[in-house]
């Protein structure tokens, strides 16, 4: 089958020089209403030209441009006639490549820095305060701007902090406009995109839905489609989008492995089905999963068992649906919906396209005799865009706004053996924590709040004037933008107090609640 591009829109390309913020830049561009894609710095000018970009943004990076082995970009990119913005390393690379000078002066700037705009700020910085706080992270400086460039801003340590060649539509800033710490950073990106490159704000959920519905109908024809529905945001939105396109040609499969949080099965079977109208098959496999997890404490072994049993449960339904289609003489089951997001594509080094597969990377593999083509309607999107599309499709907020939840479920939030009794304890504690966070209006302020049961640990407590020997519960609230890095969330003390009091008062065998205040790195978000 022929490969499909990420989108039919022409992209603004973010050239990645190894920056930790490349994905963040691409997201900020989309927030400005312009579609973006990320390409590696190793892409040739011809490969970049093939994508027919409307703009190019050169990201930051950890290297020095004059070092041997530092990331390089094909200089012919600057001859493509495409409006280009350099950020940090990209700013310095542009300066050096076009004839300017980059030097290590011994003057460094890290974090909040005061920048002063020269003149009217030009296209890039026009309409902004003459003095503004920007976020710096560099030890090298552009000592001399290339010929034809005008210096737009300075700082105490950096005499060329921003520049522009208006005729060629080349721009650059030494600071990071993509981070929220730069007070007017988004305005810088919007000025470049809308004024410098002349682009309209036409990337929005409505356009994505219309485009994907048309594409899915063309791809599927009259064939039948199946989808693995976990209840998470990605699978919920991808399934709803495909259902909007093809209706009853789609069957969603929900495997209840007994490791779900309180009320999740009902949420999927009732609220999700009512809001979307999708045909749903539920597989009740809790006893099977718990049977295989009996006596297992190693986290990796747990994950493998849960993944293996999920595949087996999903396989059986797939085989039944294929057999049913053959017996009835109806349209064949040819497609499988997968909730791949754009960060998955970027981080795996993958490109665009609809793949013909015999394995599904989200569930760990399919039988050899099942040959499906993938439908990946979200593969051009970031998580926040997926949520926006889910809301447009009418998916309940309790699903579309939910925090990330691991595929192995509560099985990896129990430190020790997974048993039915321990799952009930954790379910109740988790439900209380989620309820209090929602009541306090904190759901949008945290990325995720895993609740962990230390099942193999007991501590002494006093409850009801008696000595107890119960389990500790760990609260792990974190703030993040992409889960690659995270910091613990500073929740209000009164909220923490309510959560702790309710859990220790109403959840049996728990007499202590503790708070995990570790960032990532060094800790991971999940405990197992």
Q: Is 178 a catalytic residue?
A: yes
Find out whether 226 and 318 touch, Cβ atoms under 8 Å. Answer: yes
Separation in Å, CA 89 to CA 18, 100, 113, 249: 10, 14, 17, 50
Q: Which of 37, 88, 360, 449 is catalytic?
A: 88
In degrees, to the nearest 5, what angle opens at C-alpha 432 toward C-alphas 429 and 436? 145
Q: Is 194 a catalytic residue?
A: no
State the first-to-last Cα distance of the chain, in angstroms, to the nearest integer.
Answer: 39
User: How many CA within 13 A on the CB side of residue 150?
Assistant: 16
**Tokens, residue 374:** 């993938």
Q: Is 181 a catalytic residue?
A: no
In degrees, to the nearest 5, what angle opens at C-alpha 34 toward C-alphas 116 and 239? 135
**CA-wise closest residue to 15 among 62, 79, 74, 102:** 74
**Tokens, residue 220:** 């599927």
**CA-wise closest residue to 258 among 317, 312, 300, 309:** 309
**CA-wise closest residue to 257 among 305, 319, 310:** 310
Q: Which of 41, 138, 176, 471 is catalytic?
A: 176
Q: What is the DSSP letter of 269?
A: I
For the beta carbon of residue 112, count every other beta carbon within 10 angstroms: 12
Q: Which of 178, 264, 385, 428 is catalytic?
A: 178
Widest distance between CA atoms in the chain: 81
Find out whether 392 and 233 touch, Cβ atoms under 8 Å. Answer: no
Burial class (CB in 10 A: 0-12, 13-18, 19+), 319: middle
**Tokens, residue 240:** 């709803």
Catalytic residues: 88, 176, 178
């Amino acid at each position: 089958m022929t490969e499909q591009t990420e989108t039919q829109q022409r992209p603004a390309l973010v050239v990645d020089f190894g920056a930790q913020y490349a994905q963040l830049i691409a997201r900020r561009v989309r927030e400005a209403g312009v579609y973006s894609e990320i390409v590696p710095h190793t892409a040739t000018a011809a490969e970049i030209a093939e994508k027919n970009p409307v703009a190019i943004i050169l990201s930051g990076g950890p290297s020095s441009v004059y070092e041997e082995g530092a990331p390089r970009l094909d200089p012919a990119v600057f001859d493509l006639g495409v409006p280009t913005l350099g950020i940090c390393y990209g700013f310095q690379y542009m300066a050096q490549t076009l004839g300017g000078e980059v030097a290590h002066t011994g003057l460094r700037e890290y974090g909040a820095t005061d920048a002063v705009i020269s003149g009217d700020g030009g296209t890039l910085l026009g309409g902004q305060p003459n003095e503004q706080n920007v976020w710096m992270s560099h030890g090298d400086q552009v000592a001399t701007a290339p010929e034809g460039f005008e210096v737009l801003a300075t700082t105490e340590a950096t005499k060329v902090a921003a520049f522009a060649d208006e005729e060629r539509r080349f721009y650059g800033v030494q600071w990071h406009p993509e981070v929220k710490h730069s007070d007017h950073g988004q305005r810088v990106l919007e000025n470049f995109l809308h004024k410098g490159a002349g682009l309209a704000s036409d990337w929005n959920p409505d356009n994505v839905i219309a485009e994907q519905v048309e594409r899915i109908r063309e791809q599927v024809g009259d064939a039948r489609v199946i989808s693995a529905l976990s209840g998470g945001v990605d699978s919920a939105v991808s399934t709803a989008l495909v259902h909007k396109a093809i209706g009853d040609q789609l069957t969603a499969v929900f495997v209840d492995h007994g490791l779900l949080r309180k009320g999740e099965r009902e949420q999927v079977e009732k609220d999700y089905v009512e809001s979307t109208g999708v045909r749903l098959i539920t597989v009740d496999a809790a006893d099977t999963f718990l049977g295989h997890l009996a006596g297992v404490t190693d986290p990796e072994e747990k994950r493998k068992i849960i993944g293996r049993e999920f595949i087996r449960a999903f396989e059986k339904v797939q085989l039944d649906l294929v057999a049913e289609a053959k017996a009835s003489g109806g349209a064949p089951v040819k497609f499988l919906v997968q909730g791949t997001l754009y960060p998955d594509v970027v981080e795996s080094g993958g490109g665009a396209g609809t793949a013909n597969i015999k394995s599904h990377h989200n569930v760990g593999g399919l039988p050899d005799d099942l040959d499906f083509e993938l439908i990946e309607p979200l593969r051009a999107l970031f998580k926040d865009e997926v949520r926006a599309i889910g809301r447009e499709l009418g998916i309940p907020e309790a699903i579309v706004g939910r925090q990330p939840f691991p595929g192995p479920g509560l099985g990896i939030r129990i430190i020790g053996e997974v048993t039915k009794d321990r799952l009930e304890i954790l379910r109740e504690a988790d439900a209380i924590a989620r309820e209090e966070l929602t009541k306090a209006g904190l759901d949008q302020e945290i990325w995720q709040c895993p609740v962990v049961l230390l099942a193999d640990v007991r501590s002494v407590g006093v409850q009801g004037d008696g000595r107890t020997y119960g389990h500790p519960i760990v609260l792990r609230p974190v703030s993040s933008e992409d889960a690659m890095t995270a910091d613990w969330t500073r929740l209000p003390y009164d909220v923490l107090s309510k959560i702790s009091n309710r859990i220790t008062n109403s959840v049996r065998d728990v007499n202590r609640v503790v708070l995990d205040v570790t960032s990532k790195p060094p800790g991971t978000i999940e405990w197992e």
